[in-house]
Amino acid sequence: MKANALKRVAGALSAAAVLVAGMALGTGTASAAAAVPQDGVPYIHMSGLTAENSESSTWRLYKIGDYVSVDANNADVTTVADAQVKTLLREAIEAGDPDGYKSDIYDKDSTTQQTYYDNPVAYISQHMGDPGYAEKLRKIADALADTTAGTGLLKNTTIAATAQYEPSVENYGTNHDVYLTSKAYGTAYAAGDFSQGVYVITSNKTITKDTATVNAVSTMIVPSTYCPDADNTVKVLKGQQLGEVALKSSDGNTPDKKPDPVDPDKPDYESTKKGEVVWSDANGTLVKFTLSSSIPSNWSANDANHNMKIYDAPRAGVTVLKTIAGVKSIVDNKFSSLTFDDNDNGIKKDATTLATAEALTLKVGNTTLSTAGGTDYTYTLTYKNTASGDDDNKFVGQDKSTGGEVASGILENDKYFLADVNQVMKIPGVAASADVVMTYYAFIESTQSGAVNDYLFKFDGTEAGKDQEPQNTTVDYTLYNVGPKNNYEGVADATYRIYKVNVSGDRDSLSYAKGNLAGEVKSAATTGAVKFPNLTSGYYIVEEATVATGYLQSFAPTYTIQVTGKTGTGSGATYNSLTAKALTKTEAEKMGGDAFYKDLGQLLDLNKAKVDGPPTINAGDYVHNITSLTQLPMTGGAGIALSVVVALVLGGFGLASYRRSRKAASVVA
């Protein structure tokens, strides 16, 4: 066996090449990370566990290879002396790597036993680092656990597991990890024991793709660390970690699942699409959409066998802006309050740059793709079922159509565009788990409430799971500008503005900051309605920027709304259509004080329930306005404020009178 063979084992494994890495064995509750075994004790370190898959789960460890010797630069490994294990390994190699089987294991045509016939583990380790071998290795691992054919390790009851382990939340730490090792030094096994070598690890959990947090491992091939004596442990070989397994949240053939950066209740997802409002007013909404996913963790760099497709179907009222010229045209012709700066492509409100226009862009890893392609990869962007109104700069959406299903949620006769990338792993610098990000601007008509852009990622024909919250949709938000307290008659011509809220930090410790201006609308006559159409998910600060003529500006309030599809919390949380709701004073102030909520005159009447009347008052958010201080409420915070104003005035008058009388007295004297 070549000296660097095991190094290739470690390298491939550390890149998640051999894992159906979704054993999703979850969120630990112990108070510390698992303890690293002492020197001289071999181990396999499993990290990235989640709690959901620990319950009633059993891991079985089957040893398939023994170490002869390993140091920092060289290694040697042999297949265990069990004829049945060798037979199963040969069968698995034939299933996953038929050409290699013929050339290096057994040539059936000539009935010739090749070099690695009696040492199939050595053959596998020789080729683990080869470009594209990850897919073959995945097939080899799958064949080892093929229970239907009766040849897998789980099915073949005459081959016993070397060790058996039942994970639980209690025995791994806050790092969500555990060390598999011998009984004397690590977690006790229900049966068998552990010694250094190469293992096949299986789980009795089945893959349940529709269950967001449970995607179980079927098989993985893992080398342990190596201990030459009781005082030393070899953990690194040729710069690669031995005995390290980072469990992923997918099966390795689809993207790794990622947690939502803000919402800890939301199930992890493989792909998402989120809109960011650039500007919203009575004319419509300008939105920047971002679709994101990642390259499957089993895909190898330079492997020519992989393709990726991204589907996007803009529905009625949504116009995809393909180019910077398309964005400029919308700004110039739809939004009279905005300007477009031809020098830097800035979208501006007065002198403030709200955003910088971009063409539709697809980026994989650090490489922005060109439809001209590259030396090895190809990228095509095709607009399907184009019609009147479409041109080089825009693609106008339509209602859902008919026909067979092209992808989930998208039919043959729908208007949609398709980004098709062949030989993805030939893109320069792209590796497994690299980010895939598509961005583009879109204009949404103000009359199109709840606009939708359906989307889907496919990796080698397999659809990636979507974010449960429909962040690819929008919702209108309407407030009512009305007269003094208990007066719900509309007041026209007040100017309201919304600002985006920037969220940063860890989702368990978030920070909020007032962001860019994102919309401006005047209140309507008669009703006083102020509608910001087609807001995307997130938080927005609402300000009465300018009150109507005759009303007091100093009492104009500020409050915060949240646009979300979430109802409930914790395990009871569900995600449906987006809704917009005003936060309470307490909720908003926790985000950042009076920048998020200010109501000096107690003029906010938020989340008001419907009143049947007379008069009838519809449910909604109402902002009252006053023309004089006498219209302020006389109880509560505002009443106290008014009392303080009056007291100060009276006190000042008394002090002035006292001073005048003193002066008069001194003159008489």
**Number of domains observed in the structure of the chain:** 4
Q: What is the CB neighbour count within 10 angstroms for residue 553?
A: 12
Does 318 share its domain with 170? no
Among 428, 456, 479, smallest CA distance to 582 is for: 479
- Domain assignment present for residue 469? The answer is no
- Domain assignment present for residue 235? The answer is yes
Does 226 share its domain with 332? no
Q: What is the pLDDT of residues 101-136, one digit of tens each?
A: 999 999 999 999 999 999 999 898 777 666 667 678
Does 542 share its domain with 638? no
Flag whether pLDDT at 20 surpasses 70: no
Among 260, 271, 255, 251, smallest CA distance to 432 is for: 255
Does 360 share its domain with 222? no
Flag whether pLDDT at 49 surpasses 50: yes
The more confidently predicted of residues 453 and 349 is 349
- Domain assignment present for residue 595? The answer is yes
Q: What is the pLDDT of residues 310-361, one digit of tens each?
A: 999 999 999 999 999 999 999 999 999 999 999 999 999 999 999 999 999 9
pLDDT of residue 31: 33
Highest mean pLDDT among 229-238, 387-396, 444-453, 567-576: 387-396
The more confidently predicted of residues 219 and 646 is 219
Does 197 share its domain with 93? yes
Does 121 share its domain with 46? yes
User: Rounded to an integer, what distance in angstroms lies between the CA atom of residue 586 and that of residue 362?
Assistant: 41
Q: Long-range contact list for 561-568, CB < 8 A, 24+ apart?
A: 561/477, 561/621, 562/538, 563/475, 563/477, 563/535, 563/536, 563/537, 563/538, 563/539, 564/469, 564/537, 565/469, 565/470, 565/471, 565/537, 566/263, 566/265, 566/266, 566/469
pLDDT of residue 213: 42
Q: What is the CB neighbour count within 10 angstroms for residue 641?
A: 17
Q: What is the pLDDT of residues 423-443, one digit of tens each?
A: 999 998 898 889 999 999 999
Does 453 share its domain with 482? no
- Domain assignment present for residue 266? The answer is no
Contact between 625 and 494 under an 8 Å Cβ cutoff? The reply is yes
The more confidently predicted of residues 259 and 353 is 353
Flag whether pLDDT at 170 surpasses 90: no
Does 546 share its domain with 418? no
- Domain assignment present for residue 662? The answer is yes
Residue 620 belongs to domain spanning: 475-631
pTM above 0.75, yes or no: no
pLDDT confidence tier of residue 16, bands split at 50, 70 and 90: very low
Helix (H, G, I), strand (E, B) or coil at 553: helix
Report residue 563: phi and psi, to 5°: -105, 115
Does 549 share its domain with 643? no
- Domain assignment present for residue 255? The answer is no
Report residue 490: phi and psi, to 5°: -65, 145
pLDDT of residue 15: 31
pLDDT of residue 178: 79
pLDDT of residue 60: 82
Flag whether pLDDT at 551 surpasses 90: yes
Scan for tokens 């803009």, then name that residue: 314
Q: What is the C-alpha radius of gyration for the chain, rounded to an integer number of angstroms? A: 33
Q: What is the pLDDT of residues 454-470, one digit of tens each?
A: 999 999 988 999 999 99
Among 93, 161, 168, 172, smallest CA distance to 125 is for: 93
Flag whether pLDDT at 41 surpasses 50: yes
Report residue 45: phi and psi, to 5°: -100, 115
* Range with the poorest average pLDDT among 2-11, 61-70, 79-88: 2-11
Q: What is the pLDDT of residues 595-648, one digit of tens each?
A: 999 999 999 999 999 998 788 899 999 999 999 998 887 654 444 444 444 444
- Domain assignment present for residue 10? The answer is yes
Tokens read off for 488:
């719900």
- Domain assignment present for residue 251? The answer is no
Does 453 share its domain with 480? no
Q: What is the pLDDT of residues 494-506, one digit of tens each?
A: 999 999 999 998 8
When the pLDDT of each residue in the chain is averaged and rounded to a whole number, the result is: 82
The more confidently predicted of residues 641 and 377 is 377
Tokens read off for 579:
């809704």
Query: For residue 67, what are the β-bridge partners?
Result: 77
Does 504 share its domain with 567? yes
pLDDT of residue 216: 44
User: Rounded to an integer, what distance in angstroms lies between the CA atom of residue 421 and that of residue 370?
Assistant: 10
The more confidently predicted of residues 74 and 516 is 516
Does 449 share its domain with 552? no
